[in-house]
Amino acid sequence: MTTKAQELSGWEYSLAPETTKIDIEQKNKLFIQGKFVSPKSRSWFSTINPATEEKLADVACAGKADVESAVTAAKKALPKWSRLSGSQRAKYLYRIARRIQERSRELAILETMDGGKPIKESRDVDLPLVAQHFFYYAGWADKMQYAFPGANIEPVGVCAQIIPWNFPLMMAAWKLAPALACGNTCILKPAETTSLTALRLAEIMQEVGLPEGVVNILTGAGETGKLLAEHKSVNKVAFTGSTAVGKSLMRSTAGTGKKLTLELGGKSANIIFADAAIDQAVEGIVSGIYFNQGHVCCAGSRLFVEEPILDEVVSKLTHRLRSLRVGNPLDKNTDLGAINSQEQLDTVERYIRNGTEEGAQLHEIHSERLPSKGYWCSPCFFTDVQPSHTIAREEIFGPVLSVMTFRTPQEAISRANNSPYGLAAGIWTNKGSKIFEVAKKLDAGVVWCNTYNKFDAASPFGGFKESGFGREGGMQGLRPYVRLQNQSRRAK
């Protein structure tokens, strides 16, 4: 039976939560010398789901004695691991990559539960990149001599690797994969709020039979990281996180001969020229600043729009913002999940207040679907922002965009470069020659032209100026994890 000329219209999406259940250990121990061990510190902290504020588990907090054990394990494992042939090391890394692919759904769900990022992103962005990173660097392990022509290559040694909470597993992969490929042994320190997936990675290390002590994972807070970085048997410190901590690491390692790489903050410029494909540029703005709730060091948080198209861009951006869905990160249709912690939410909210107080105009779309518990921030942007405003200068690390204008390419370049940071930049124009000229003149380690926030294991990532030094990804990503023989005479 059919109703005649029935006029259907309108449509809403139903809830689409990820339903796979994940078992979570209640007590998550440290991973040292190939085993899960209770912390000698006897100290534990709880990790919560930022979308529900519910406690997920207890996590060990590594203290001085634990750091000592882990460094000893890594040091002990070093000679054998570094002398293993490249092709053998490669196979371990390939195995890790495969196991990550096999366990990727579980890992994605856990990443989302512990960190608050939308399942869509952990599933479609983080996990594929994690696996790709291990695959990519696996292949380098027996080809190092082609990456550094003319040099004799040695691993650096014991690496302390301290990572942030915005891409927990991906940052672990960025650190571990090149280090292991080059023959180093590692102690990884995940961020306090996002330890759980790193410990699953430890399980994978066990599953693939990685020799004991090659990878050790120490959970804990900032103090654990500090102890680790300052340990005298550590030969290399790799850190991703805030510029302030990066600077203090630079001071604490000064004169020690420790090799250091830092991947720090940013206030990246996204520049839209009037001749750009504007509808696509708006997509680029959105993926530039709202990807992962804006918890992205290379977020395009300063938008520079050529004056004649300001109104058009603002109007299209406003329209686009309405289709962004904020809420339960485990819902497959969620575009923006939870802010990672109460502390970070306070920071973001403080910047938003500050922007308004300094006279900028706030544009926000309030979502009606926000749960009552959890840490939430609706995506927003400011217009009437002056380059001197705090929101135009400081890294917010949240879904908050500052919109400014420029009149000429030269002005765009100089405004973009007027920052102590230099991590990334975006350029949108239909003119090829302009792209290359502007890309050349921007102080940024990654320049996305007519795209934004693209990552790939084969593509180096890292900053200029106070955004840090050293590259992760690509052939250049090997450089921080080797000593070239010609440099072995350097001051120790």
61 as an active site residue: the answer is no
Nearer to another protein, 52 or 450 (CB): 450
DSSP 8-class letter at 13: P
β-sheet bridge partners, residue 472: 461
What is d(CA 8, CA 14) in angstroms, rounded to the nearest whole number? 17
Please tell me the count of residues contacting another protein according to CB under 8 A. Answer: 82
* Contact letters for another protein, residues 231-250 (x by CB under 8 A): ---------------xxx-x
CB of 234 to another protein, least distance (A): 16
Q: 118 and 133 in contact (C-beta within 8 Å)?
A: no
Return the DSSP state at 323.
T
Q: Which of 54, 203, 275, 357 binds another protein (CB under 8 A)?
A: 275
| Rg of the Cα atoms in the chain | 23
Q: What is the DSSP letter of 475?
A: G
Closest approach of another protein to the CB of residue 456, in Å: 4
Q: Tokens for 88?
A: 């053998």
Per annotation, catalytic residue among 159, 182, 186, 297: 297
Provide the residue type at 301 as one letter.
Answer: S
Q: Which of residues 441-480 bind another protein (CB under 8 A)?
A: 444-451, 454, 456, 458-462, 464-466, 468-469, 471, 474-476, 479
Rounded to 10°, the helix 243-253/222-230 angle is 30
Residues 180-219: x where in contact with another protein by CB under 8 A, - otherwise, as a string: ----------------------------------------
CA–CA dist 488, 491 (Å, integer): 8
Q: By CB under 8 A, tell whether 14 contacts another protein.
A: yes
Q: Which of residues 118-137 bind another protein (CB under 8 A)?
A: 120, 124, 132
- The least CB distance from residue 427 to another protein, in Å, is 9
- Say whether 466 is catalytic: no
Interaction with another protein in 367-386: which residues (CB under 8 A)? none
Q: Pattern of binders to another protein over 136-155, x per CB under 8 A? A: ------------xxxx----
Judged by CB, which is closer to another protein: 32, or 125? 125
Query: Which residue among 284, 379, 399, 409 contacts another protein (CB under 8 A)?
Result: 284
* Interior angle at CA 465, CA 463 and CA 471, nearest 5: 25
Residue of 18, 121, 192, 263 with catalytic role: 263
Give, as ranges, the residues between 308 and 337 that touch another protein (CB under 8 A). 315, 319, 323, 332-333
| DSSP for residue 122 | I
The rounded Cα 443 to chain-centroid distance in angstroms is 20
As measured in angstroms, the least distance from the Cβ of 128 to another protein is 9
Beta bridge partners of 263: 240, 468
CA 220 to chain centre: 19
Phi/psi of residue 459, nearest 5 degrees:
-110, 120
Residue numbers 55-84 binding another protein by CB under 8 A? none
Report whether 212 contacts 33 (CB < 8 A): yes
Which residues between 337 and 356 bind another protein (CB under 8 A)? Answer: none
Q: Within 10 A of 55 (CB to CB), how many other CB atoms are there?
A: 11
Residues annotated as catalytic (active site), given as ranges: 263, 297
